[in-house]
């Protein structure tokens, strides 16, 4: 069984991103970039499926500028067998990413496509579901457990208030949530080996997809600042303030 796993190059999760002073965009100059944390979980899950003998091949795919090859190399170092880059510069909307991934799905014919549930830059949480609709595949979003069984996969999903399990016909889409697994660190020998693994590059034209724009970012701004309050001496003062000043408890 072939597994396709999508990865995105995003700002490292430790970076506190700010809006540029003129409000035109976020300031990403000289900011550390990394593989999106949920995508890292997706790669780990695919590699574990291979180690368990369920998957035979893991193909990592990324849609982005040439620099995203760095994140594909990370995926290869973590255990993916080969990589595919769809080269696009600038911001690509989730719908277009889903169309490009559909193109790759048609070329690769994977039985399972694993993606992160959302990327920590746009916070959209859309691409996996959109790919599901475009390919008419079933989806197990926000997965905390994935079990492949013959021609179907059982996915346990994180939902409001608890967990839900669904059974999906293969080929299917899985999007990862935090508790699915804990990604490994790439070892130095594996990082070296990853440099020699194959990486193919396609353009949107190769996949017959037009990079369209549906949404314009008009401006960006910092959120309303919250004023720091006061420090209180002890619990008694705290309770007094909450009762008599903030009036939030009776």
Partner 1 sequence: MSTLILAEHDNDSLKAATLSAVTAATQLGGEITVLVAGANCDAAAQQAAAVAGVNKVLVADNAAYANQLAENVSLLVAELAAAYDNVIAAATTSAKNIMPRVAALLDVAQISEIMSVESADTFKRPIYAGNVIATVQSSDAKKVITVRGTSFDAAPAEGGSAVVEAVTSVHDAGISSFVGEEVAVSDRPELTAASVVISGGRGMQNGENFQLLDGIADKLGAAIGASRAAVDAGFVPNDMQVGQTGKIVAPDLYIAVGISGAIQHLAGMKDSKVIVAINKDEDAPIFQVADYGLVADLFSALPELEAAI
- Told to check if 147 binds partner 1 by CB under 8 A, we report no
Nearer of residues 66 and 149 to partner 1, judged by Cβ: 149
Residue 63 C-beta: closest distance to partner 1, Å: 15
| DSSP structure string for 4-56 | EEE--EEE-TT----B-TTSSSB--TT--EEE-HHHHHHHHHHHHHHHTTS-S
CA distance linking residue 28 with residue 171, whole number of Å:
37
CA distance linking residue 132 with residue 156, whole number of Å:
17
The helix/strand/coil state of 187 is coil
User: Kind of pairing, strands 162-169 and 138-149?
Assistant: unpaired
Residue 19 C-beta: closest distance to partner 1, Å: 5
Residue 14 C-beta: closest distance to partner 1, Å: 9
- Told to check if 195 binds partner 1 by CB under 8 A, we report no
Residue 241 C-beta: closest distance to partner 1, Å: 6
Over the window 82 to 121, marking each residue x when it contacts partner 1 by CB under 8 A and - when it does not, the resulting string is -----------xxx--x------------------xx-xx
Q: To 10 degrees, what angle do helices 127-135 and 94-108 make?
A: 50
Nearest residue to 131 (alpha-carbon basis) of 117, 121, 120, 144: 117
- The residue range among 10-18, 80-88, 104-112, 203-211 that interacts with partner 1, by the rule CB under 8 A, is 10-18
Paired residues of 127 in beta bridges: none
Nearer of residues 11 and 148 to partner 1, judged by Cβ: 11
Nearer of residues 201 and 239 to partner 1, judged by Cβ: 239
The helix/strand/coil state of 88 is coil
Residue from 158, 174, 181, 183 in contact with partner 1 (CB under 8 A): 158
| N-term to C-term CA, the chain | 61
Nearer of residues 189 and 222 to partner 1, judged by Cβ: 222
Nearer of residues 62 and 118 to partner 1, judged by Cβ: 118
Residue 199 C-beta: closest distance to partner 1, Å: 28
Nearer of residues 19 and 186 to partner 1, judged by Cβ: 19
- Told to check if 150 binds partner 1 by CB under 8 A, we report no
Residue 224 C-beta: closest distance to partner 1, Å: 8
Residue 32 C-beta: closest distance to partner 1, Å: 14
Note the Cα 191 to chain centre separation in Å: 21
Residue 195 neighbours by CB under 8 Å, 6+ apart: 73
Over the window 210 to 229, marking each residue x when it contacts partner 1 by CB under 8 A and - when it does not, the resulting string is ---xxxxxxxxxxx--x-xx
Distances (CA, A) of 210 to 38, 72, 98, 213: 27, 23, 12, 10
CA distance linking residue 44 with residue 121, whole number of Å:
21
Residue list 25-64, contact with partner 1 (CB under 8 A): 26, 38
């Amino acid at each position: 069984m072939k597994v396709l796993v999508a990865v995105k190059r995003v700002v490292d999760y430790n970076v506190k991103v700010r809006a540029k002073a003129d409000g035109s965009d976020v300031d990403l100059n000289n900011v550390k970039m990394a593989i999106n944390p949920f995508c890292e979980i997706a790669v780990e899950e695919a590699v574990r499926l291979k180690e368990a003998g369920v998957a035979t091949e893991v193909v990592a795919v990324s849609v982005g500028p040439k620099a995203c090859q760095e994140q594909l190399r990370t995926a290869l170092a973590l255990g993916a067998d080969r990589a595919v880059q769809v080269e696009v510069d600038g911001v690509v909307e989730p719908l277009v990413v889903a169309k490009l991934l559909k193109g790759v799905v048609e070329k690769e014919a994977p039985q399972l496509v694993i993606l992160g549930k959302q990327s920590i830059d746009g916070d959209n949480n859309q691409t996996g579901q959109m790919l599901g609709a475009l390919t008419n595949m079933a989806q197990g979003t926000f997965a905390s457990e994935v079990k492949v069984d013959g021609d179907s996969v059982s996915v346990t999903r994180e939902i409001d208030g608890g967990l839900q399990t669904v059974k999906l016909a293969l080929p299917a889409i899985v999007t990862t949530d935090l508790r699915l697994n804990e990604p490994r660190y790439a070892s130095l020998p594996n990082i070296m080996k990853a440099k020699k693994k194959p990486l193919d590059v396609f353009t949107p034209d190769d996949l017959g997809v037009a990079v369209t724009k549906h949404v314009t970012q008009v401006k960006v701004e910092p959120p309303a600042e919250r004023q720091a309050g006061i420090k209180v001496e002890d619990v008694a003062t705290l309770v007094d303030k909450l009762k008599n000043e903030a009036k939030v408890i009776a």
